Amino acid sequence: MNVFWENKEDIGAELLTIDYQKATIVSESLVLLAKTGASYKRSYLLVLGKDWCTRKVEVYDQENNENICLHSNRVGNWFQGDSHLKQLDGAIDVDISITPFSNSLPINRLKWVKDQTRTLEMVYINALSFEVEKIEQQYTYLGEFSEGRKFQYRCRDYNTVITVDDHGLVLQYPGVFNRKL
């Protein structure tokens, strides 16, 4: 399955390929971005279990041949190589700064009931600087509408309503991402 998003906040686009394999979901993406007078070419690989729990995340800087690779034991412990990153303990999902696909991970991993709110710890990866930190995000399921399922999304002082399709993939992320394919 291929998905294409236009970046509305900056100048850019993303082409994501999702491969539903027997035991895993493998997602590979290329993101082109122009921001604050600079251009970026990044790619990422996400390996998920069938339960949408992150097993591995790799983010690549295609221009400078740099990358960051983290893997999880799927119960909230994160590793870089053999090093346990204790500051990330408790987080199940990842949020890669340059993609709306990150929102699909908790949306698809969890069962939702209308008006249900969940506060989640996420491994946030700034794909431009490769900085990694644990952050808190909140999702509230607003229900099913003609244009798709809607979730109120909050992170720090940011608040918006995102719309996803039947696969939990973002259709509309107001002012930031717009799905084209």
Q: How many residues does the chain have?
A: 181
pTM score of the predicted model: 0.95
Report how far residue 3's alpha carbon sits from residue 43's, in angstroms, rounded to the nearest whole number.
14
pLDDT digit string, tens, across residues 118-166:
999 999 999 999 999 999 999 999 999 999 999 999 999 999 999 999 9
Query: Which parts of the chain are beta strand (E)?
Result: 2-7, 11-20, 24-35, 38-49, 54-61, 66-72, 78-80, 83-84, 93-96, 117-125, 132-145, 148-155, 158-164, 170-173, 177-179
pLDDT (tens digit, 9 = 90+) per residue, 1-59?
A: 999 999 999 999 999 999 999 999 999 999 999 988 899 999 999 999 999 999 999 99
Band of pLDDT at residue 88, cut at 50, 70 and 90: very high
**DSSP category for residue 102:** H
Question: Of 179, 180, 177, 169, which Cα lies nearest the Cα of 25?
Answer: 169
Phi, psi of 165 (to 5 degrees): -85, -170
pLDDT greater at residue 106 or residue 35: 106
pLDDT tens by residue, 160-180: 999 999 999 999 999 999 999
The confidence score (pLDDT) of residue 181 equals 86
pLDDT at position 74 = 86
Instruction: Show the CA angle centred on residue 130, arms to residues 44 and 16, nearest 5°.
Output: 15
